[in-house]
Amino acid sequence: MKRSEVLGQILTPDGTTLRLTRRDTEYIILASGRSLMSSRMHGSEEALATLACGRMRVLEQPCVLIGGLGMGFTLRATLDLLPPDATVLVAEMVPDVVEWNYGPLGPLAGHPLKDKRVQIEIGDVAVRLRSSHDKFDAVLLDVDNGPTAFTASDNAWLYDDRGIAATHTALKMNGVLAVWSARDDRRFENRLRYGKFAVQVERVR
């Protein structure tokens, strides 16, 4: 049995321990000892981008906000769908996660942070949403395991009525909000409808 190698560890402001490990060719990010993401399974992250940004190749200068960098797979899939004049703003709360993506995680998704269309913002995606109006063609949220906050209790704001309203304001007309979730959440779907979103649930492997 191959042993895990710890490549990095950080304590987040809310007390969560994030650890980057490698076992053979697989990279895993753990949150307080529980698996948060793995380099072996990233089809759902790519689907998040495909479902949200599939129509944007024909837009002029589309602007996309991604909450959460992870291992870069959502960002890579987003970039692959966008034209050369696009802008992709990535809000990541943990600086070490960005450093991991410049370092050992970079090759996994083809070094998406090196793309000139990408802007990295260290901080809470909620701050960007609160300060934006009619700015984004799509907002992709992959900051947690879904509407039930897993790694940071502060993420809960994104999924309540205030966060939904702020996101709606930050989006352009006909803009798209895409939220990664590990499971169905009917209450969140209803909150989205109440917040004037047309809701579509897509199930992917």
Q: SS3 string of the chain?
A: CCCCEEEEEEECCCCCEEEEEEECCEEEEEECCEEEEECCECHHHHHHHHHHHCCHHHCCCCEEEEECCCCCHHHHHHHHHCCCCCEEEEEECCHHHHHHHHCCCHHHHCCHHHCCCEEEEECCHHHHHHCCCCCEEEEEECCCCCCCCCCCHHHHHHHCHHHHHHHHHHEEEEEEEEECCCCCCHHHHHHHHHCCCCCCCCCCC
pLDDT of res. 155: 72
Per-residue pLDDT of the chain (205 residues; tens, 9 = 90+): 567 899 999 998 778 899 999 999 999 999 888 888 899 988 888 999 999 998 888 899 999 999 999 999 999 999 999 999 999 999 999 999 999 999 999 999 999 999 999 999 999 999 999 999 999 999 999 877 677 654 445 678 889 999 999 999 999 999 999 998 888 889 999 999 999 999 998 888 7
pLDDT of res. 99: 97
pLDDT of res. 151: 45
